[in-house]
Structure 1
């Protein structure tokens, strides 16, 4: 019986896996599906890795060491992103949380005042600000998810 490689829990490629990918794909000229099978990964993951980290020094080639370096850089940049970009929106959210408003009420109020505070800035609001200032909001979120059958 054939083993399903797609059902495995996803984790990022390690430096060792990137080096094996380079060896098998560049030197031994193995096809992507064969490399994926050897690494016990999805062929889409391998294809994405090669496409994302292809460098054009002399010819288009995948190199594992720069790929690992840029992976680390992308992870650092992802952690630094500001969730609510507008200082005005950040101040509004902080003020309302200190007054005891729940994240749901603040999000609803921002939707009413959409011209002043864009809704798109509220997408990650709950994860960013509520755990620092309003500790009960995570409990409220869990109860809402469980009531809706999502938890």
Structure 2
């Protein structure tokens, strides 16, 4: 697998809706593996294909819980409820952090790397990460949802 260069803002690819994946082949599996390797290398918890310059509806998420790596191909939100506000960052926006309000619960239908559909129910931080990556697939930037920005010093003070 390979670590890819993460596209940083400003870049048109980050604001362009991605195309539906129609072929589930070795090329898709390599894309997902490269995205995962890139996400880990950059200390992220999620990465969407547009962030490495590929306009395909594919994302990977891993928040460090017992679910492990989750590949999301052509994901769509079926249900969402509740509300949470928390600090987000983005690999495509180095050193930009801010409060973003999102649903606390999401039920998502997606396909795995083999093209098999599955349902993911997520709450809390996982729900936040999934929604953030799905926004990338729609060309929506997290900065459009930030209600308050934080500097790195402010974040360090919060972490104590």
Q: Judge same fold: TM > 0.5, yes or no.
A: no
In our comparison, the structure showing a higher alpha carbon Rg is: 1
Q: Which has the higher strand share?
A: 2
Higher helix fraction (1 or 2): 1
TM-score, normalised to structure 1, is 0.27
TM-score using structure 2 length: 0.26
